[in-house]
Amino acid sequence: MDKEKRIVIKVGTAVLTGTSGVINEGVIKKLVESTVKLLESGCQIIIVTSGAIGAGMGRIKLYGHSLRHKQALASIGQLHLMNIYDKYFSRHKRLVAQVLLTKDDLDNHSRCINAKHTMETLLKSGVVPIVNENDTVAVDELPKDKKFGDNDILSAEVALKFDADMLIILTDVEGFCTIDPRFGKEVKLIKEVRAITGDLEKCAGRAGSQRGTGGMISKLQAMKMATSKGIVAYIANGRKKDVLLKILEGKSAGTKFLPRGKKSR
Ligand code: GLU
């Protein structure tokens, strides 16, 4: 396994909640176990997690589907989500830190520098930063460029701004397929992507879990952002056993997107 890699791992709502809508602690437990193995092998890990709204839905019945309901659910669920991560990481004597970000934070020079300093300090201290969008203030009504839109794009931004070597987006399908595996029978997993072409973008479709917001289009966009700046990127099934370890051991898992641009470090 490659040593001293900085890896951003994004975990989608669909991985964390399945069809029930309630957070599946077993998934987080396994994710934590794999993450700890990567930490022990010398990697630095930043987790970008969704699931705050899903976790909130499991805690309280808030009737309504408006933005403010979702924001309220996220603020209830975020605490619950972090408690679960903390519970399983502390079994391995690892500390976690909550990092809530908005697009504005990373676009603003001095706020971004502050976030970078915080992140570097956490990583050097062996703490696992767990990032989510600050849903309370990141609202849909703002112009599109003011919000990440979903955590796929947030995870790519985090990988770029915090100098990651690798981005892994974990979802509930095998990887990038020629048609969306949830809706078709003729599914073909693409194991390696050298260039994100228009044809590939057409393949992405618009499907996604009802609890997540991304779908394949935003995952592909995240892959494009990362690989164009020299970061190797993956889309893989977060429910598959040892998927993270397989990726790091260079074994076949999910879809690998080869870096195109040069890293600016
Ligand atoms: N920040 C949202 C949450 O934690 C998730 C956004 C997304 O699904 O990508 O629920």
pLDDT tens digit sequence for 65-80: 788 888 999 999 999 9
Q: Can you list the alpha helix ranges (DSSP code H) found in the chain?
A: 13-17, 25-40, 52-57, 67-90, 103-107, 109-124, 151-161, 198-203, 215-227, 243-248
Which range (105-114, 120-129, 154-163, 186-195) has the least confidence? 186-195
**Are the CB atoms for 253 and 188 separated by under 8 Å?**
no
For residue 154, tell me if it sits in a domain: yes
- Name the pLDDT band for 158 (thresholds 50, 70, 90): very high
pLDDT surpasses 80 at 14: yes
For residue 111, tell me if it sits in a domain: yes
Question: Hey, which of 151, 170, 172 would you mutate to test ligand 1's pocket, going by the most ligand atoms within 8 Å of its Cβ?
Answer: 151
**Are the CB atoms for 123 and 158 separated by under 8 Å?**
no
CA of 22 to the centre of ligand 1 (A): 14
pLDDT surpasses 90 at 261: no
Q: How many domains does the chain have?
A: 1
CA of 153 to the centre of ligand 1 (A): 11
Mean pLDDT of the 34-40 span: 96
3 state SS of 265: coil
Query: Strands 44-49, 192-193: parallel, antiparallel or unpaired by DSSP?
Result: unpaired
For residue 264, tell me if it sits in a domain: no
186 vs 79, residue with greater confidence: 79
Mean pLDDT of the chain: 87
Mean pLDDT of the 177-197 span: 78
For residue 1, tell me if it sits in a domain: no
pLDDT of residue 150: 81
Q: Which residues on neighbouring strands pair with residue 10, listed in sequence order?
A: 48, 169
Sheet holding 232-237, edge to edge: 96-101, 128-133, 44-49, 6-11, 166-171, 232-237, 255-257, 192-193
For residue 18, the Cα-to-chain-centroid distance in whole angstroms is 16
Please give the residue range of the domain that contains residue 28. Answer: 6-257
pLDDT of residue 62: 79
- Any idea what the CATH number is for the domain that residue 139 is in? 3.40.1160.10
Question: Hey, which of 22, 213, 217, 221 would you mutate to test ligand 1's pocket, going by the most ligand atoms within 8 Å of its Cβ?
Answer: 213
pTM of the model: 0.91
CA of 21 to the centre of ligand 1 (A): 13
CA of 1 to the centre of ligand 1 (A): 31
CA of 3 to the centre of ligand 1 (A): 30
Q: Which residues line ligand 1 (CB under 6 A)?
A: 13, 50-54, 74, 132-133, 135, 150-151, 212-214
Question: Hey, which of 22, 47, 49, 53 would you mutate to test ligand 1's pocket, going by the most ligand atoms within 8 Å of its Cβ?
Answer: 53
For residue 262, tell me if it sits in a domain: no
State the angle between helix axes of 67-90 and 25-40 in degrees (0 to 180), rounded to the nearest 10: 50
pLDDT of residue 255: 95
Mean pLDDT of the 93-114 span: 95
For residue 14, tell me if it sits in a domain: yes
Candidates 101, 122, 96, 82; CA nearest to 35 is 96
116 vs 146, residue with greater confidence: 116
179 vs 97, residue with greater confidence: 97
pLDDT surpasses 70 at 154: yes
Spatial distance between the Cα atoms of 157 and 153, rounded to a whole number of angstroms? 6
